[in-house]
A = this chain, B = another copy of it.
Amino acid sequence: MVNYPNGKKAAVRHEPTSFADRGMKLEKDINRTNDYYRSIDRAIIHKKPTPVTIVKVDYPDRTAAKITEAYFKLPSTTDYNGIYRGKYIDFEAKECAVNTSFPLKSIHAHQIEHLSSVVRHGAIAFLIIRFTGLDITYLADAEEAIAYINSCGRRSIPYEWFTEHAYEIPYNYVRPVDYLSVVDRVYFGEGS
């Protein structure tokens, strides 16, 4: 690192990240993993479409309706759900740029409520949190994470909580976020 003559370090320049691109890498990795799981018929799990409120649509012709005004809507559920080994699976995935804790503001209250509900109904439900600076991805059981969130009174979950209570998700080229290997272990009691 070359310093400026005044002794201050040169500011690290990041490429500006568009809103739409933030957190996209984890999403792409999970989508690729889900595609792989489906291709070998292991699980049928999809990302839900991004919820938008459509205000205006032009119809230049019937086959190519063009939406010209729409707005992003707060999601009322999590992004991913489906079926695995006969069980309903539901999870939310988030990237976290901070190395020391996961800020709870990145998960909406609706999504926490949704996770609580599906757990009560017998779902396998969890969070997938990637600490991008550490390049490590965790699976945290929804029930356990929600219990912590409700009891802690904090606005974030410290990184240590993940090392103690969550499970590292292994990386694999064809299954970049191989979360079902963790699900097998944690929810079906398989492996070590």
Size range of the interface on A? 35 or more
A154–chain B nearest beta-carbon distance, Å: 25
- Residues of chain B with a CB closer than 8 A to A123's CB: 83
What B residues does A73 contact at CB under 8 A?
A: 49
A134: chain B residues at CB < 8 Å are: none
Main secondary structure of the interface of A (DSSP, over half): mixed
Q: Which A residues between 57 and 72 are near B, CB-CB below 8 angstroms?
A: 57, 59, 62, 64-72
Asked if A44 meets B86 with Cβ closer than 8 Å, knowing A68-B69, A71-B65, the reply is no
Give the Cβ gap from A76 to chain B, nearest Cβ, in Å. 7
Q: Tell me which of A19, A83, A85, A90 has the highest count of chain B C-beta atoms within 10 A of its own C-beta.
A: A83
In the complex, what residue of chain B is closest to A81 when comparing beta carbons?
A: B81
Is there an interface contact between B49 and A83, defined as CB atoms closer than 8 Å? no
Stretch at the interface among A114-122, A155-163, A179-187: A114-122
CA distance A121 to B114 in the complex (A): 23
A: residues with CB less than 8 A from B are 18-20, 38, 41, 43-44, 46, 48-52, 54, 57, 59, 62, 64-73, 76-77, 81-88, 90, 114, 117-118, 120-123
Closest 3 interchain pairs by CB?
A86-B122, A49-B51, A88-B88
